Structure 1
């Protein structure tokens, strides 16, 4: 039997906090700037799944309550969660960018100081010349294209995703036998990558017209 209307419990509709509304507005701003889907996803996850829940525990539900002391507590709480210094630094960089945007928008009078997270110096492992030559040779035995991909990454510093996005017209032949590649990297930012002359010539001679990907 249905309950009379007077005995029904009304559950209030959940509403966003001012802090969450500000976060959504920032993401909309980044989207309007043309940031990549991955960048938008990372920023949304870092703020809404990691940073904001900690701020709520500190009683912070609006941007104006974010102080330098709160940010110090946030950095400590993130580190205590077992995260690496590099991960904590990434979260705090996003917080800093968010707060700077709020300041530019007039939501904050000034950007509170964000603590700097110290990170251990890492020395990346690199291939020796002999190891690199063996890697290129092994790739070339599979396919000429594979060898060119390895060389563009090793000799021009391209990322795998950047190589995959190359088009025929991205190879630029300059005067004096010089070559460059027009590369679109993170955040859809375009740059020119210089190529060793022999690599530029090999890419130009590739049957597909300069697009080994």
Structure 2
């Protein structure tokens, strides 16, 4: 069997398993590059550790970030693992290592930056209300960009204060809403939502009367960057801000894991570390004794100690 035919069979398998269209498209993209590099007509029996390592090096030597290289190799490793399970190759998956990527520092928005973001919106108009709802669901419930896009009206349970979200791998979870996010949502549903030109149950509708797209959210954040001057603004920054502040305000890592839809605690622990660092910095600014002596030195308290 050639690499090309094996990739086609693998993609059919993904559809049979019920993987999302986005997941299948990702495999098609990343494995397309792999088969172009190895050769579409190459027999899979010719695959060996040397060819896989050469492929890995070609990715690293290109103008791709560490995270992008990891993504390419992760998808290719899944394909190699499938070939092994089907009996086409032997002992290749364990030899095809995933390169280590430098862990990026997680950033969050400050109180002042959050205020800047929310001041950009006019909730009296439909689009302004829609946009503030998008930000509220990201920042107050930790929803991912794609989870916002695929959110259906039927999945909103206002009386219980929860949203049923379909996350990665089609896994469903219940996500709670805060008072203000719920307020924006009710206002949006009671007149702010643009009616779609075709029958659609999607919650977030764009100005062209169609369900909102990835590109529309990208453009929204580009406008926010210009208006606020916060160059690092992006959807996942909102999710990081939610997670870190949830812990700072007393939330526990196990409930946070459920809300975010993480399968392991590894990422949640990174938020916990960041929350601890934030708490220490906040304490240094608000230490009662430090502030007492600081005020004393500035002449605000002339009493003897």
Q: TM-score, normalised by structure 2?
A: 0.54
Q: Which runs of 4+ in 1 moved over 6 A?
A: none
* 1:136–1:151 Cα contact (<8 Å) kept: no
Shift of 1:128: 0.9
Identify if the C-alpha distance between structure 1 residues 164 and 41 changes in structure 2 by more than 3 Å, giving closer, same or farther.
closer
- 2-structure distance, mates of 1:202, 1:83: 40
Does residue 158 of structure 1 match 2:143?
Answer: yes
What is aligned with 2:134? 149
- 2-structure distance, mates of 1:125, 1:64: 46
Which of 57, 61, 65 is matched with 1:80 structurally? 61
Which of 12, 16, 30 is matched with 1:46 structurally? 30
Identify if the C-alpha distance between structure 1 residues 33 and 126 changes in structure 2 by more than 3 Å, giving closer, same or farther.
same
What do residues 147-200 of structure 1 show as CA deviations (whole Å, max 9, x unaligned)? 2221111111223342233232212256xxx52211123443323222224423
Q: TM-score, normalised by structure 1?
A: 0.75
- 2-structure distance, mates of 1:165, 1:23: 28
* 1:180–1:195 Cα contact (<8 Å) kept: yes
What is aligned with 1:8? none
Identify if the C-alpha distance between structure 1 residues 32 and 200 changes in structure 2 by more than 3 Å, giving closer, same or farther.
same
What is aligned with 1:61? 42
- 2-structure distance, mates of 1:169, 1:70: 49
- 2-structure distance, mates of 1:79, 1:200: 45
What is aligned with 2:85? 104
Give RMSD over aligned pairs.
2.8
Q: Secondary structure at the match of 1:139?
A: coil
What is aligned with 1:4? none
* 2:49–2:92 Cα contact (<8 Å) kept: no
What is aligned with 1:93? 74
What is aligned with 1:137? 119
What is aligned with 2:12? 28
Shift of 1:202: 4.3
- 2-structure distance, mates of 1:84, 1:198: 38
- Please list every run of 5 or more consecutive structure 2 residues that lacks an aligned counterpart in the other structure: 194-202, 206-305
- 1-structure distance, mates of 2:104, 2:121: 29
What do residues 4-29 of structure 1 show as CA deviations (whole Å, max 9, x unaligned)? xxxxxxxxxxxxx6221111100111
- 2-structure distance, mates of 1:44, 1:129: 42
- 2-structure distance, mates of 1:39, 1:136: 33
- 1-structure distance, mates of 2:191, 2:83: 48
* 1:180–1:200 Cα contact (<8 Å) kept: no
